[in-house]
Structure 1
Amino acid sequence: MARNGINQRELDKWAKGLVKEANKSLERAARRNPSRVPVQFETTPTGSGAPNGEAIESSAHLARLLLWLDAYAQQHPGRYIDVTRFVEEHELTDDASVLALQLEQRGLANLARAWGDAVPHVQLTDEGRVAVHALKNRQKDRAARLRHTMNAFLRWLYDTAGDQVPTNPALFLATPGSYFAGADVSGADLHQALAYLTENGLIEPIDTDPSTVAITPRGVSCALAGGSVQDDINQPTPSDNGPVFHIATNNGNIAANSTGFTQNAVTQTGFDPAQILAAVNLLQQLAPSLTPNAGEQQVLLTQVQELQAAATVPAPDRGLVRRVAGGVISTIRGLAHSPDVQRLALEAVEQGIQGL
């Protein structure tokens, strides 16, 4: 079963419909403006650009350039080709010289420097041809393709609307992250990624026309951690060593700068204001341990009071509770006086909003 009482069939139907609407949105955008949407960053599983140690499959432009060079080499063996042609054909904003240098640094292409730095002519090396063969095989790896799609989409959503603003997922399909190993991410891949991210509480569907999605506080935490979606979902359970705090029933003070603790919380199937109140109570106790600065404490306590108020009205607005809780989480992340207490506070808030 998915979160919020949505079963897997309903979740699958929603994701398929969202992808269908996304494709229609792209087609309408293409008719209005035939040029490809300019992209100003590359999305990778860790959110970085394309350092030397990054897998070539995750760098959309370099992977596509390799495949393009291979197709040219098959028709013109032994000849150099100007990378500027690739940039122009694909309507990219990248510097052709930089792309050529990145391939050279990886040993995948030779750069004809004698022709001048302003004219980046390259030729695939033997390593480059091997890399092309590996890319074509990698494109067939369904699991790797899905992992990439989930990681790239979540990071793109955070970069685009990290404040939980509803966003049309179709826009993702116009970014470098929508390529894997130089090939387009399919509609089936995107629909599976959206369903998986929703089922695990990293994004949530928004009832708009057309349908949109928003990143959740857990999704924000995953993006900020810099790891993959699987890293977040498969986090090990806390160690049994050290004291155990049961947040749902805790009424005592937590020692400052504590280490080696385990936090347990009761998991609810729906929204339970009592869990929010338990988190509020704990944060009020932890404020002095989170920061010695009186001003920072007051900011946090004010947000905590807002969270309490949002959760205790007769008919709580779940969207409002999520937004206020997201602000509390952001504030706590900026308080690094005691990392252990900070982690405990974050887990308390995240547990409190799990049922949303």
Structure 2
Amino acid sequence: MGSSFKINQRELDKAMREIAKGLERAARKHPVSVPMRVESIASPRMSGEPLEQDPVMSRLVTWLAQRTASHPGRYQNLSHFTDEEGDLPPGEADILGLRLEEQGLAKVLRTFGSGSRTVILTDAGELAARRLARLRSDRAARFAHACDALLRWMYDTGPGGEAVAVTAFADSRDCRFAGDPLTTDEVTGALERLVRHGFARLTDDPAAVAAQITQRGIDRVLSGGSVNTPAPQAGNTWNVHNSPNSVVGNQSDFTQNNHHGFDASAVRDWAELVRQIAPTLQGTPQEEADIVRDAEILIELVDQENPEPGRVRALFDGIQNRLTGLGGASAALTLLLAQAEQARQAVFG
């Protein structure tokens, strides 16, 4: 069961150079602010899209926190923020004020004819700003978001799977996490991950490095899933262990999967995620090397034409045990262990 997706490394290297230029332009347009040093703080509960994934609102909360630090107790006019952003629709300052108030992040000063653009940050807003500052230094969270944001941007920008210039993503407002521009390495790493896993493909464009979202990428976007989450299996799935001649189903048409039909794609996706995130887990150099090595072995094993379920299970369990043995409660480790349980359920039942 070998992988059908191959990387053109020369094209990817070219993409990295072009994206770097785009990121330099984006950095001049949206300067990077210096994150606050903070302790770990729980976030206020908010409905809808997580604040860190909203490129405008996350930047706005950060901007308000910086202004509040310079001018404590003073209301701020959001028109100054929309002017700095440059390309927001007219009247957006009032809309942003209402959104902040709805989420409990700011209080609107209402006077005759003032609209809702004059606000002051609430305690919940202060906590949200501190949480965003902490997330900006979370490498795993940043990279995971870069993958999802780039895929969604490709879907929105190239309707019908049309090719899009990847460097345009670097110039877009979507190229942010927690109010902070994504880096060159994060964008190029995200592109490589999308291509490697079949969510996108590079194309030949003489003007710029271009890429297309694949049908698999479109399906992932429409399902609301993450690039970093194993895809759910469609239809009825029956796991019958040690019963090669058994047939189970609730209809006249069926497919019998014996040893040769073992589908461990969810385990492979998880192993690839482990390989990517392992350097951020703060283990010893030897622990990191062992985890990366085992993840690569697991990927190679699953890519075999007829992988042996017992060996896949044993190696999968071994990696999970190594991760559990690291201890701690980082966001990256929590993510990997949660994804491990999903992969285990999808493949082994």
Partners of 1:119 and 1:103 in 2: how far apart? 10
Are 2:61 and 1:70 aligned? Answer: no
Partners of 1:19 and 1:187 within 8 A in 2: yes
Unaligned runs of 5+ in 1: 37-50, 243-254, 268-356
For residues 95-110 of structure 1, what are the structure 2 equivalents within 5 Å? Answer: 95-110=92-107
Q: CA RMSD in A?
A: 3.3
| Equivalent position of 1:122 in the other structure | 119
CA contact (8 A) 1:2 1:199 kept: no
Question: Are residues 74 and 26 of structure 1, via their aligned partners in 2, closer, same or farther at CA, if it must alter by over 3 Å?
Answer: closer
- What is the distance in 2 between the residues matched to 1:260 and 1:132? 55
Equivalent residue number for residue 57 of structure 1: 52
- Cα displacement string for residues 150-196 of structure 1 (whole angstroms, at most 9, x for unaligned residues): 11111111112132222111111233321100100111101111111
Q: CA deviation at 1:142?
A: 1.2
Change in CA separation of 1:77 and 1:92 when aligned onto 2, cut-off 3 Å: same
Report the equivalent of 2:217: 219
Equivalent residues of 2:23, 2:184 under 8 A apart: no
2:194 maps to what in 1? 197
Q: Retained in 2: the 8 A contact 1:108–1:125?
A: yes
What TM-score, normalized by structure 2, do the two folds share?
Answer: 0.58
Residues 241 and 262 of structure 1 are in contact (CA less than 8 Å); yes or no, is this contact kept in structure 2? no
- Is 1:155 aligned with 2:152? yes
Amino acid at match of 2:86: E
State the alpha-carbon separation in 1 of the partners of residues 252 and 161 from structure 2: 32
Does the CA contact (< 8 Å) of 1:81 and 1:123 recur in 2?
A: yes
Distance 1:165 1:141, change over 3 A: same
**Is 1:15 the counterpart of 2:6 in the alignment?**
no
TM-aligned CA deviation for residue 4 of structure 1: 4.1
Partner of residue 326, structure 1: none
Q: Which residue number in structure 1 is paired with residue 265 of structure 2? A: none
SS at match of 1:172: helix
CA shift, 1:224, in A, is 1.8
Measure how far apart 1:236 and its partner are.
Answer: 5.0
Q: 1:126 to 1:262 in 2, by over 3 A?
A: farther
> 1:202–1:217: 8 Å Cα contact kept in structure 2?
yes
Q: How many residues align?
A: 232
1:15 Cα deviation after fit? 3.4
Whether contact under 8 Å (2:52, 2:132) holds in the other structure is yes
Judge conservation of contact 1:97–1:117 (CA < 8 Å) in 2: no
Q: Specify every segment of 5 or more residues in structure 2 that has no aligned partner in the other structure, as ranges.
A: 31-45, 241-248, 263-349
Q: Which whole-Å deviations, capped at 9, do the CAs of 1:52-96 have from their partners, x for residues lacking one?
A: 332111111111111111111111110001001100111131411
User: What's the TM-score, normalizing by structure 1?
Assistant: 0.57
- The superposition leaves residues 29-64 of structure 1 with CA deviations (integer Å, 9 ceiling, x where unpaired) of 99xxx988xxxxxxxxxxxxxx83321111111111
Whole-Å separation in 2 of the counterparts to 1:259 and 1:91: 61
Q: Which has the larger radius of gyration?
A: 1
CA distance in 2, matches of 1:159, 1:262: 36
Checking the alignment, whether the CA contact within 8 Å between 2:143 and 2:190 is kept in structure 1 is yes
2:86 to 86, 91, 97: 91
